[in-house]
Protein backbone atom coordinates (compact mmCIF):
# COMPACT_ATOMS: atom_id res chain seq x y z
CA UNK A 1 0.00 0.00 0.00
CA UNK A 2 1.52 3.31 -1.07
CA UNK A 3 0.69 5.89 1.62
CA UNK A 4 0.65 4.72 5.22
CA UNK A 5 -2.76 3.50 6.28
CA UNK A 6 -4.73 5.99 8.38
CA UNK A 7 -8.20 5.01 9.51
CA UNK A 8 -10.62 6.43 12.01
CA UNK A 9 -13.53 5.55 14.23
CA UNK A 10 -15.83 8.54 14.44
CA UNK A 11 -18.60 8.00 16.97
CA UNK A 12 -21.21 10.57 17.89
CA UNK A 13 -21.44 10.78 21.68
CA UNK A 14 -25.21 10.49 21.73
CA UNK A 15 -25.34 7.15 23.51
CA UNK A 16 -23.18 4.41 24.98
CA UNK A 17 -20.82 2.44 22.77
CA UNK A 18 -23.12 0.22 20.74
CA UNK A 19 -22.21 -3.30 19.64
CA UNK A 20 -22.29 -2.11 16.02
CA UNK A 21 -20.08 0.87 16.77
CA UNK A 22 -17.65 -1.31 18.68
CA UNK A 23 -17.43 -3.68 15.72
CA UNK A 24 -16.75 -0.74 13.36
CA UNK A 25 -14.03 0.48 15.74
CA UNK A 26 -12.59 -3.03 15.93
CA UNK A 27 -12.43 -3.48 12.14
CA UNK A 28 -10.68 -0.12 11.79
CA UNK A 29 -8.25 -0.99 14.57
CA UNK A 30 -7.48 -4.42 13.12
CA UNK A 31 -7.03 -2.95 9.66
CA UNK A 32 -4.63 -0.34 11.02
CA UNK A 33 -2.66 -2.88 13.02
CA UNK A 34 -2.54 -5.33 10.10
CA UNK A 35 -0.95 -2.65 7.93
CA UNK A 36 1.18 -1.05 10.62
CA UNK A 37 -0.96 2.06 10.16
CA UNK A 38 -2.58 4.64 12.39
CA UNK A 39 -5.93 4.28 14.15
CA UNK A 40 -7.59 7.60 14.96
CA UNK A 41 -10.50 8.30 17.28
CA UNK A 42 -12.58 11.35 16.44
CA UNK A 43 -15.57 12.46 18.44
CA UNK A 44 -18.38 13.80 16.25
CA UNK A 45 -20.13 15.98 18.77
CA UNK A 46 -21.65 18.67 16.55
CA UNK A 47 -25.18 17.66 17.47
CA UNK A 48 -25.15 19.84 20.55
CA UNK A 49 -28.59 18.79 21.71
CA UNK A 50 -27.92 15.08 21.77
CA UNK A 51 -24.20 14.94 22.52
CA UNK A 52 -23.13 14.44 26.10
CA UNK A 53 -19.77 14.43 27.75
CA UNK A 54 -20.81 11.36 29.74
CA UNK A 55 -21.32 9.44 26.50
CA UNK A 56 -17.88 10.45 25.25
CA UNK A 57 -16.50 9.03 28.49
CA UNK A 58 -18.56 5.87 28.09
CA UNK A 59 -17.32 5.40 24.51
CA UNK A 60 -13.69 5.84 25.56
CA UNK A 61 -14.18 3.44 28.47
CA UNK A 62 -15.87 0.90 26.21
CA UNK A 63 -13.03 1.02 23.68
CA UNK A 64 -10.46 0.66 26.43
CA UNK A 65 -12.36 -2.25 27.94
CA UNK A 66 -12.15 -3.96 24.56
CA UNK A 67 -8.44 -3.25 24.47
CA UNK A 68 -8.66 -1.02 21.40
CA UNK A 69 -5.94 1.59 21.68
CA UNK A 70 -5.96 4.64 19.42
CA UNK A 71 -2.85 6.35 18.12
CA UNK A 72 -4.40 9.79 17.74
CA UNK A 73 -7.46 11.18 19.44
CA UNK A 74 -8.89 12.28 22.76
CA UNK A 75 -6.52 11.95 25.69
CA UNK A 76 -3.61 10.94 23.47
CA UNK A 77 -3.49 13.94 21.11
CA UNK A 78 -1.75 13.82 17.75
CA UNK A 79 -0.63 16.05 14.89
CA UNK A 80 -4.06 16.43 13.24
CA UNK A 81 -6.16 17.52 16.20
CA UNK A 82 -8.28 18.67 17.80
CA UNK A 83 -10.14 15.36 17.78
CA UNK A 84 -13.50 16.74 18.87
CA UNK A 85 -15.52 18.25 16.05
CA UNK A 86 -16.81 21.05 18.27
CA UNK A 87 -13.21 22.21 18.59
CA UNK A 88 -12.62 22.22 14.85
CA UNK A 89 -14.94 25.09 13.88
CA UNK A 90 -12.05 27.20 12.59
CA UNK A 91 -11.11 24.45 10.15
CA UNK A 92 -14.68 24.15 8.86
CA UNK A 93 -14.89 27.92 8.47
CA UNK A 94 -11.67 27.98 6.44
CA UNK A 95 -12.95 25.24 4.18
CA UNK A 96 -16.26 27.07 3.72
CA UNK A 97 -14.53 30.34 2.87
CA UNK A 98 -12.42 28.66 0.25
CA UNK A 99 -15.39 26.92 -1.35
CA UNK A 100 -17.37 30.18 -1.31
CA UNK A 101 -14.48 32.03 -2.94
CA UNK A 102 -14.36 29.39 -5.64
CA UNK A 103 -18.09 29.76 -6.24
CA UNK A 104 -18.82 26.18 -5.25
CA UNK A 105 -21.27 27.08 -2.51
CA UNK A 106 -24.26 29.36 -2.60
CA UNK A 107 -26.53 31.00 -0.05
CA UNK A 108 -30.00 29.56 0.20
CA UNK A 109 -32.67 31.60 1.99
CA UNK A 110 -35.53 29.16 1.55
CA UNK A 111 -37.57 28.80 4.71
CA UNK A 112 -38.84 25.54 6.11
CA UNK A 113 -42.31 26.36 4.69
CA UNK A 114 -40.92 27.05 1.23
CA UNK A 115 -39.11 23.71 1.29
CA UNK A 116 -42.24 21.92 2.48
CA UNK A 117 -44.36 23.42 -0.30
CA UNK A 118 -41.65 22.43 -2.78
CA UNK A 119 -41.73 18.86 -1.51
CA UNK A 120 -45.51 18.62 -1.66
CA UNK A 121 -45.55 19.99 -5.16
CA UNK A 122 -42.87 17.50 -6.29
CA UNK A 123 -44.74 14.67 -4.65
CA UNK A 124 -47.93 15.65 -6.49
CA UNK A 125 -46.08 15.85 -9.78
CA UNK A 126 -44.40 12.54 -9.00
CA UNK A 127 -40.91 13.86 -9.66
CA UNK A 128 -37.79 13.31 -7.58
CA UNK A 129 -38.01 15.07 -4.25
CA UNK A 130 -35.02 17.35 -3.91
CA UNK A 131 -34.08 20.95 -3.55
CA UNK A 132 -34.88 22.60 -6.89
CA UNK A 133 -31.94 25.00 -6.81
CA UNK A 134 -34.04 28.17 -6.83
CA UNK A 135 -31.47 30.16 -4.80
CA UNK A 136 -28.59 29.14 -7.03
CA UNK A 137 -28.86 32.16 -9.25
CA UNK A 138 -29.27 34.88 -6.63
CA UNK A 139 -26.94 37.79 -7.40
CA UNK A 140 -24.25 38.86 -4.98
CA UNK A 141 -25.96 42.17 -4.20
CA UNK A 142 -29.22 40.46 -3.33
CA UNK A 143 -27.47 37.91 -1.16
CA UNK A 144 -25.67 40.65 0.73
CA UNK A 145 -28.85 42.69 1.17
CA UNK A 146 -30.77 39.71 2.54
CA UNK A 147 -27.96 38.77 4.92
CA UNK A 148 -27.86 42.38 6.11
CA UNK A 149 -31.58 42.33 6.89
CA UNK A 150 -30.94 39.33 9.13
CA UNK A 151 -32.61 36.76 6.90
CA UNK A 152 -31.58 33.23 7.83
CA UNK A 153 -29.71 31.16 5.29
CA UNK A 154 -27.87 27.90 4.76
CA UNK A 155 -24.93 27.28 2.45
CA UNK A 156 -25.41 24.65 -0.23
CA UNK A 157 -23.00 22.88 -2.52
CA UNK A 158 -23.70 23.27 -6.23
CA UNK A 159 -24.33 19.71 -7.20
CA UNK A 160 -23.23 18.96 -10.77
CA UNK A 161 -25.82 17.65 -13.21
CA UNK A 162 -25.54 14.37 -15.03
CA UNK A 163 -22.37 13.27 -13.32
CA UNK A 164 -21.90 9.77 -12.19
CA UNK A 165 -20.59 9.24 -8.71
CA UNK A 166 -19.06 5.84 -8.30
CA UNK A 167 -16.48 4.07 -6.28
CA UNK A 168 -15.02 0.61 -5.86
CA UNK A 169 -16.13 -0.31 -2.38
CA UNK A 170 -13.65 -2.64 -0.70
CA UNK A 171 -16.40 -4.84 0.67
CA UNK A 172 -19.41 -4.14 -1.55
CA UNK A 173 -17.74 -3.91 -4.93
CA UNK A 174 -18.56 -1.20 -7.45
CA UNK A 175 -21.28 1.21 -6.33
CA UNK A 176 -22.60 3.90 -8.57
CA UNK A 177 -25.04 6.79 -8.24
CA UNK A 178 -26.02 9.61 -10.53
CA UNK A 179 -25.58 13.13 -9.26
CA UNK A 180 -29.05 13.96 -10.61
CA UNK A 181 -30.59 12.21 -7.67
CA UNK A 182 -28.53 14.17 -5.20
CA UNK A 183 -29.63 17.37 -3.60
CA UNK A 184 -27.66 20.56 -3.50
CA UNK A 185 -26.20 19.45 -0.23
CA UNK A 186 -26.46 21.75 2.78
CA UNK A 187 -22.94 22.31 4.02
CA UNK A 188 -23.55 24.88 6.74
CA UNK A 189 -26.80 25.02 8.67
CA UNK A 190 -28.65 28.22 9.51
CA UNK A 191 -27.10 28.18 12.98
CA UNK A 192 -23.67 28.32 11.37
CA UNK A 193 -22.79 24.72 12.25
CA UNK A 194 -21.37 22.44 9.56
CA UNK A 195 -23.55 19.51 8.53
CA UNK A 196 -22.50 15.97 9.29
CA UNK A 197 -21.40 15.19 5.72
CA UNK A 198 -19.35 18.35 5.43
CA UNK A 199 -17.59 18.04 8.78
CA UNK A 200 -16.73 14.40 8.08
CA UNK A 201 -15.12 15.24 4.76
CA UNK A 202 -13.19 18.24 6.08
CA UNK A 203 -11.93 16.07 8.93
CA UNK A 204 -11.14 13.01 6.84
CA UNK A 205 -9.19 15.20 4.43
CA UNK A 206 -7.47 17.09 7.25
CA UNK A 207 -6.61 13.90 9.10
CA UNK A 208 -5.32 12.33 5.88
CA UNK A 209 -7.62 9.35 6.20
CA UNK A 210 -6.77 6.72 3.60
CA UNK A 211 -9.62 4.25 4.24
CA UNK A 212 -13.12 5.00 5.47
CA UNK A 213 -14.42 1.82 7.07
CA UNK A 214 -17.93 2.22 8.42
CA UNK A 215 -21.38 0.68 8.58
CA UNK A 216 -23.30 0.20 5.35
CA UNK A 217 -25.98 2.51 6.73
CA UNK A 218 -23.61 5.25 5.58
CA UNK A 219 -23.64 4.19 1.91
CA UNK A 220 -26.18 6.87 1.04
CA UNK A 221 -23.87 9.53 2.49
CA UNK A 222 -20.88 8.44 0.46
CA UNK A 223 -21.90 9.93 -2.93
CA UNK A 224 -22.59 13.25 -1.23
CA UNK A 225 -19.23 13.09 0.44
CA UNK A 226 -17.53 12.21 -2.83
CA UNK A 227 -18.99 15.37 -4.37
CA UNK A 228 -17.50 17.31 -1.48
CA UNK A 229 -14.08 15.71 -2.05
CA UNK A 230 -14.35 16.74 -5.68
CA UNK A 231 -15.31 20.29 -4.73
CA UNK A 232 -12.40 20.43 -2.31
CA UNK A 233 -10.09 18.91 -4.93
CA UNK A 234 -8.94 16.41 -2.34
CA UNK A 235 -7.89 12.83 -3.09
CA UNK A 236 -10.58 10.25 -2.39
CA UNK A 237 -9.97 7.71 0.35
CA UNK A 238 -10.97 4.11 -0.26
CA UNK A 239 -14.35 3.19 1.17
CA UNK A 240 -15.39 -0.05 2.83
CA UNK A 241 -18.97 -0.36 4.02
CA UNK A 242 -19.37 -3.19 6.44
CA UNK A 243 -22.57 -5.20 6.87
CA UNK A 244 -25.05 -4.44 9.62
CA UNK A 245 -25.32 -6.54 12.73
CA UNK A 246 -28.66 -8.32 12.85
CA UNK A 247 -30.70 -10.14 15.45
CA UNK A 248 -31.65 -13.78 14.96
CA UNK A 249 -34.78 -12.67 13.10
CA UNK A 250 -32.49 -10.88 10.62
CA UNK A 251 -33.80 -7.46 11.64
CA UNK A 252 -31.20 -4.86 12.51
CA UNK A 253 -29.89 -5.45 16.04
CA UNK A 254 -31.89 -3.38 18.49
CA UNK A 255 -32.96 -3.30 22.13
CA UNK A 256 -35.70 -5.70 21.16
CA UNK A 257 -33.07 -8.42 20.72
CA UNK A 258 -31.44 -7.80 24.09
CA UNK A 259 -28.46 -5.80 25.22
CA UNK A 260 -27.02 -3.51 22.56
CA UNK A 261 -24.36 -1.56 24.40
CA UNK A 262 -20.94 -2.92 25.13
CA UNK A 263 -21.09 -1.92 28.78
CA UNK A 264 -24.04 -4.25 29.31
CA UNK A 265 -21.89 -7.17 28.17
CA UNK A 266 -19.19 -6.11 30.57
CA UNK A 267 -21.80 -6.08 33.32
CA UNK A 268 -23.08 -9.50 32.30
CA UNK A 269 -19.62 -10.89 32.97
CA UNK A 270 -18.19 -11.32 29.49
CA UNK A 271 -14.45 -11.30 29.09
CA UNK A 272 -13.24 -8.39 26.96
CA UNK A 273 -10.92 -10.58 24.89
CA UNK A 274 -13.63 -13.11 24.21
CA UNK A 275 -16.10 -10.38 23.36
CA UNK A 276 -13.59 -8.78 21.00
CA UNK A 277 -12.89 -12.13 19.37
CA UNK A 278 -16.62 -12.69 18.89
CA UNK A 279 -17.15 -9.19 17.45
CA UNK A 280 -14.31 -9.75 14.98
CA UNK A 281 -16.24 -12.71 13.56
CA UNK A 282 -19.38 -10.65 13.00
CA UNK A 283 -19.08 -10.09 9.29
CA UNK A 284 -15.48 -11.21 8.94
CA UNK A 285 -13.82 -14.63 8.89
CA UNK A 286 -10.22 -15.68 8.50
CA UNK A 287 -9.28 -17.83 5.53
CA UNK A 288 -9.38 -20.90 7.69
CA UNK A 289 -12.79 -20.17 9.11
CA UNK A 290 -12.83 -23.30 11.24
CA UNK A 291 -10.50 -21.50 13.62
CA UNK A 292 -12.68 -19.26 15.70
CA UNK A 293 -10.59 -18.56 18.76
CA UNK A 294 -8.14 -15.92 17.64
CA UNK A 295 -5.70 -14.02 19.76
CA UNK A 296 -5.05 -10.32 19.28
CA UNK A 297 -1.91 -11.09 17.26
CA UNK A 298 -3.68 -13.66 15.12
CA UNK A 299 -6.41 -11.13 14.39
CA UNK A 300 -3.80 -8.51 13.46
CA UNK A 301 -2.10 -10.95 11.13
CA UNK A 302 -5.24 -12.21 9.43
CA UNK A 303 -7.58 -9.25 9.21
CA UNK A 304 -8.12 -8.11 5.65
CA UNK A 305 -11.10 -6.31 4.17
CA UNK A 306 -11.50 -8.77 1.31
CA UNK A 307 -12.67 -11.29 3.87
CA UNK A 308 -15.43 -9.02 5.17
CA UNK A 309 -18.79 -10.35 4.12
CA UNK A 310 -21.20 -8.17 2.22
CA UNK A 311 -24.19 -9.64 4.05
CA UNK A 312 -25.55 -8.87 7.47
CA UNK A 313 -24.00 -10.69 10.43
CA UNK A 314 -26.20 -12.30 13.06
CA UNK A 315 -25.47 -11.57 16.69
CA UNK A 316 -25.91 -14.82 18.57
CA UNK A 317 -25.75 -14.59 22.36
CA UNK A 318 -25.39 -18.37 22.70
CA UNK A 319 -22.36 -18.38 20.45
CA UNK A 320 -20.85 -15.45 22.34
CA UNK A 321 -21.45 -17.26 25.63
CA UNK A 322 -19.86 -20.41 24.24
CA UNK A 323 -16.83 -18.44 23.14
CA UNK A 324 -16.57 -16.75 26.51
CA UNK A 325 -16.59 -20.14 28.22
CA UNK A 326 -13.88 -21.36 25.83
CA UNK A 327 -11.69 -18.40 26.82
CA UNK A 328 -12.29 -19.04 30.50
CA UNK A 329 -11.34 -22.71 30.12
CA UNK A 330 -8.01 -21.70 28.66
CA UNK A 331 -6.99 -19.23 31.36
CA UNK A 332 -4.49 -20.28 34.00
CA UNK A 333 -5.93 -20.21 37.55
CA UNK A 334 -3.93 -17.03 38.25
CA UNK A 335 -5.24 -15.26 35.15
CA UNK A 336 -8.75 -16.39 35.88
CA UNK A 337 -8.44 -15.10 39.43
CA UNK A 338 -7.30 -11.72 38.10
CA UNK A 339 -10.38 -11.56 35.84
CA UNK A 340 -12.72 -12.81 38.54
CA UNK A 341 -11.40 -10.60 41.32
CA UNK A 342 -13.70 -7.60 40.65
CA UNK A 343 -16.63 -10.02 40.75
CA UNK A 344 -15.45 -11.92 43.81
CA UNK A 345 -14.94 -8.59 45.57
CA UNK A 346 -18.72 -8.09 45.38
CA UNK A 347 -19.29 -11.12 47.61
CA UNK A 348 -19.70 -10.05 51.24
CA UNK A 349 -16.92 -11.58 53.27
CA UNK A 350 -14.41 -11.68 50.41
CA UNK A 351 -11.49 -12.49 50.67
CA UNK A 352 -12.42 -14.31 53.84
CA UNK A 353 -8.84 -14.91 54.98
CA UNK A 354 -7.89 -16.82 51.80
CA UNK A 355 -4.49 -16.01 50.38
CA UNK A 356 -3.90 -15.55 46.65
CA UNK A 357 -2.70 -19.11 46.17
CA UNK A 358 -5.93 -20.47 47.67
CA UNK A 359 -8.03 -18.00 45.69
CA UNK A 360 -6.29 -18.97 42.45
CA UNK A 361 -6.94 -22.61 43.23
CA UNK A 362 -10.57 -21.82 43.91
CA UNK A 363 -10.82 -19.87 40.63
CA UNK A 364 -9.31 -22.87 38.88
CA UNK A 365 -12.14 -25.05 40.20
CA UNK A 366 -14.60 -22.94 38.22
CA UNK A 367 -12.67 -22.88 34.98
CA UNK A 368 -14.90 -25.47 33.37
CA UNK A 369 -17.99 -24.38 35.25
CA UNK A 370 -18.60 -20.67 34.68
CA UNK A 371 -19.57 -19.38 31.28
CA UNK A 372 -19.65 -15.71 32.31
CA UNK A 373 -17.95 -14.09 35.28
CA UNK A 374 -21.14 -12.97 36.99
CA UNK A 375 -22.01 -16.62 37.61
CA UNK A 376 -19.27 -16.79 40.21
CA UNK A 377 -21.36 -14.56 42.48
CA UNK A 378 -23.94 -17.28 43.06
CA UNK A 379 -21.74 -20.29 42.44
CA UNK A 380 -18.90 -19.58 44.84
CA UNK A 381 -20.29 -17.19 47.46
CA UNK A 382 -20.28 -19.98 50.09
CA UNK A 383 -16.49 -20.01 50.11
CA UNK A 384 -16.66 -16.60 51.78
CA UNK A 385 -19.98 -16.74 53.59
CA UNK A 386 -20.27 -19.83 55.77
CA UNK A 387 -23.62 -21.47 54.98
CA UNK A 388 -26.26 -20.76 57.63
CA UNK A 389 -28.87 -22.91 55.94
CA UNK A 390 -28.61 -26.21 54.14
CA UNK A 391 -30.31 -27.36 51.00
CA UNK A 392 -33.62 -29.01 51.98
CA UNK A 393 -33.30 -31.88 49.51
CA UNK A 394 -29.74 -32.35 50.67
CA UNK A 395 -30.94 -32.67 54.27
CA UNK A 396 -33.62 -35.17 53.23
CA UNK A 397 -30.98 -37.25 51.52
CA UNK A 398 -28.77 -37.00 54.63
CA UNK A 399 -31.68 -38.21 56.78
CA UNK A 400 -31.97 -41.32 54.62
CA UNK A 401 -28.35 -42.23 55.27
CA UNK A 402 -29.17 -43.16 58.85
CA UNK A 403 -26.97 -42.13 61.75
CA UNK A 404 -25.57 -39.31 59.66
CA UNK A 405 -24.70 -37.09 62.61
CA UNK A 406 -22.68 -39.76 64.43
CA UNK A 407 -21.00 -40.67 61.19
CA UNK A 408 -20.03 -37.07 60.58
CA UNK A 409 -18.74 -36.66 64.14
CA UNK A 410 -16.47 -39.66 63.60
CA UNK A 411 -15.24 -38.27 60.32
CA UNK A 412 -14.43 -34.95 62.01
CA UNK A 413 -12.29 -36.85 64.54
CA UNK A 414 -10.57 -38.66 61.74
CA UNK A 415 -9.91 -35.44 59.81
CA UNK A 416 -8.35 -33.82 62.84
CA UNK A 417 -5.45 -36.20 62.59
CA UNK A 418 -5.25 -36.19 58.81
CA UNK A 419 -1.73 -35.65 57.52
CA UNK A 420 -1.49 -33.53 54.41
CA UNK A 421 -4.70 -31.59 53.70
CA UNK A 422 -4.62 -31.93 49.91
CA UNK A 423 -6.93 -33.64 47.40
CA UNK A 424 -5.17 -37.00 47.02
CA UNK A 425 -4.60 -37.82 50.69
CA UNK A 426 -8.05 -36.46 51.62
CA UNK A 427 -9.76 -38.66 49.11
CA UNK A 428 -7.76 -41.67 50.34
CA UNK A 429 -8.72 -40.86 53.90
CA UNK A 430 -12.46 -40.54 53.18
CA UNK A 431 -12.47 -43.72 51.10
CA UNK A 432 -10.85 -45.82 53.78
CA UNK A 433 -13.04 -44.17 56.44
CA UNK A 434 -16.23 -45.09 54.53
CA UNK A 435 -14.98 -48.63 54.04
CA UNK A 436 -14.05 -49.08 57.69
CA UNK A 437 -17.50 -47.77 58.70
CA UNK A 438 -19.29 -49.95 56.17
CA UNK A 439 -20.76 -46.85 54.57
CA UNK A 440 -21.10 -45.74 50.99
CA UNK A 441 -18.33 -43.40 49.89
CA UNK A 442 -20.94 -41.26 48.08
CA UNK A 443 -22.95 -40.82 51.28
CA UNK A 444 -19.94 -39.53 53.21
CA UNK A 445 -19.08 -37.17 50.33
CA UNK A 446 -22.66 -35.90 50.30
CA UNK A 447 -22.61 -35.12 54.04
CA UNK A 448 -19.32 -33.27 53.79
CA UNK A 449 -20.35 -31.28 50.74
CA UNK A 450 -23.63 -30.26 52.31
CA UNK A 451 -21.90 -29.27 55.54
CA UNK A 452 -19.20 -27.24 53.86
CA UNK A 453 -21.25 -25.46 51.25
CA UNK A 454 -24.91 -25.84 52.21
CA UNK A 455 -25.37 -27.24 48.68
CA UNK A 456 -25.65 -30.52 46.89
CA UNK A 457 -23.45 -29.53 43.96
CA UNK A 458 -20.00 -27.97 44.11
CA UNK A 459 -16.68 -28.58 42.39
CA UNK A 460 -14.87 -31.75 43.49
CA UNK A 461 -15.19 -32.17 47.26
CA UNK A 462 -11.55 -32.90 47.97
CA UNK A 463 -10.35 -29.93 45.97
CA UNK A 464 -12.86 -27.80 47.86
CA UNK A 465 -11.58 -29.14 51.19
CA UNK A 466 -8.02 -28.41 50.17
CA UNK A 467 -8.95 -24.81 49.28
CA UNK A 468 -10.88 -24.33 52.52
CA UNK A 469 -8.01 -25.82 54.52
CA UNK A 470 -8.10 -27.89 57.64
CA UNK A 471 -9.32 -25.25 60.07
CA UNK A 472 -12.25 -23.98 58.03
CA UNK A 473 -13.24 -27.49 57.00
CA UNK A 474 -13.33 -28.75 60.56
CA UNK A 475 -15.09 -25.66 61.87
CA UNK A 476 -17.82 -25.81 59.22
CA UNK A 477 -18.39 -29.53 59.59
CA UNK A 478 -18.47 -29.09 63.38
CA UNK A 479 -21.17 -26.45 63.17
CA UNK A 480 -23.13 -28.53 60.68
CA UNK A 481 -23.48 -31.26 63.33
CA UNK A 482 -26.41 -29.40 64.95
CA UNK A 483 -28.33 -29.20 61.63
CA UNK A 484 -27.32 -32.65 60.43
CA UNK A 485 -30.09 -35.28 60.71
CA UNK A 486 -29.30 -37.76 63.47
N1 LIG B 1 -20.41 9.96 13.38
C2 LIG B 1 -20.95 8.97 12.52
C3 LIG B 1 -21.79 7.97 13.31
O4 LIG B 1 -21.80 8.00 14.49
C5 LIG B 1 -19.89 8.19 11.78
C6 LIG B 1 -19.34 8.92 10.64
C7 LIG B 1 -18.49 8.10 9.71
O8 LIG B 1 -17.99 7.03 10.08
O9 LIG B 1 -18.31 8.57 8.58
O10 LIG B 1 -22.44 7.16 12.73
The CB of 214 under 6 Å from ligand 1? The reply is: yes
DSSP-assigned beta bridge partners for residue 77: 73
Between CA 352 and CA 159 the distance in angstroms is 71
The mean pLDDT value for 322-342 works out to 97
pLDDT per residue as tens digits for the range 92-101:
999 999 999 9
Nearest to 307 by CA among 332, 330, 288: 288
Q: What is the pLDDT of residue 2?
A: 63
The mean pLDDT value for 427-456 works out to 97
The CB of 40 under 6 Å from ligand 1? The reply is: no
Inform me whether the pLDDT recorded for 365 exceeds 60. Answer: yes
Atom 10, ligand 1: residue with shortest CA distance: 11
Class of domain 386-486: mainly alpha
Is residue 372 within 8 Å of residue 268, measured between CB atoms?
Answer: yes
Structure confidence at residue 147 as a pLDDT band (50, 70, 90): very high
Is residue 31 within 8 Å of residue 301, measured between CB atoms?
Answer: no
Measured CA to CA in angstroms, residue 285 lies from 31, 305, 393 at distances of: 14, 10, 48
**Average pLDDT, whole number, for the chain?**
96
Inform me whether the pLDDT recorded for 308 exceeds 60. Answer: yes
Q: What is the pLDDT of residue 58?
A: 97
Provide the residue count of the chain.
Answer: 486
Is residue 259 within 8 Å of residue 16, measured between CB atoms?
Answer: no
The CB of 473 under 6 Å from ligand 1? The reply is: no
The CB of 10 under 6 Å from ligand 1? The reply is: yes
Inform me whether the pLDDT recorded for 220 exceeds 90. Answer: yes
Structure confidence at residue 475 as a pLDDT band (50, 70, 90): very high
Between CA 431 and CA 440 the distance in angstroms is 9
Between CA 461 and CA 424 the distance in angstroms is 11
**Taking the domains of the chain in order of start, what are their residue ranges?**
1-73+243-330, 89-242, 331-384, 386-486
Is 386-486 the same fold as 1-73+243-330?
no
Query: How does DSSP assign 70-85, residue by residue?
Result: -SBBTTTB-TT---BG
Q: Which atom of ligand 1 is nearest to the CA of 215?
A: 8
Between CA 357 and CA 301 the distance in angstroms is 36
Q: What is the pLDDT of residue 48?
A: 87
Atom 6, ligand 1: residue with shortest CA distance: 10
The CB of 443 under 6 Å from ligand 1? The reply is: no
Q: How far is the CA of 382 from the centre of ligand 1 (A)?
A: 48
Q: What is the pLDDT of residue 259?
A: 86
Q: How far is the CA of 12 from the centre of ligand 1 (A)?
A: 7
Residues whose CB falls within 8 Å of the CB of residue 228, separated by 6 or more in sequence, listed in order:
157, 185, 187, 197, 198, 201
How many angstroms from the chain centroid is the CA of residue 22?
5
- 125-129, 327-331, 438-442: range with lowest mean pLDDT: 125-129
DSSP-assigned beta bridge partners for residue 173: 169
Q: Which superfamily, per CATH, for 89-242?
A: HUPs (3.40.50.620)
Structure confidence at residue 289 as a pLDDT band (50, 70, 90): confident
Q: Does domain 1-73+243-330 have CATH number 3.40.190.290?
A: no
The mean pLDDT value for 56-62 works out to 97
Inform me whether the pLDDT recorded for 1 exceeds 80. Answer: no
How many angstroms from the chain centroid is the CA of residue 161?
42
Positions marked catalytic:
255
Between CA 27 and CA 8 the distance in angstroms is 10
Amino acid sequence: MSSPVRVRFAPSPTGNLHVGGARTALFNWLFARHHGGVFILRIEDTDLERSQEAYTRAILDGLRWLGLDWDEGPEVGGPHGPYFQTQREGLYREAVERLLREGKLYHCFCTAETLETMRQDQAERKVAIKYDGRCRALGRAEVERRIATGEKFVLRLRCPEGESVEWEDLTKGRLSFTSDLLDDLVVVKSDGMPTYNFAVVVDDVGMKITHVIRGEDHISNTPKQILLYRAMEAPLPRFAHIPMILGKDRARLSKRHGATSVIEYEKMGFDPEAFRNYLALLGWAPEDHTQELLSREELFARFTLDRVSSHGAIFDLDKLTWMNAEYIKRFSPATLLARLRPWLAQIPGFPGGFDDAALAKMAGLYRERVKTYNEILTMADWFFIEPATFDAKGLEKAAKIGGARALLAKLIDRLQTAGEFTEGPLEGLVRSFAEAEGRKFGDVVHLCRLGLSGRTATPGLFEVMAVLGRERTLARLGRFLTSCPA
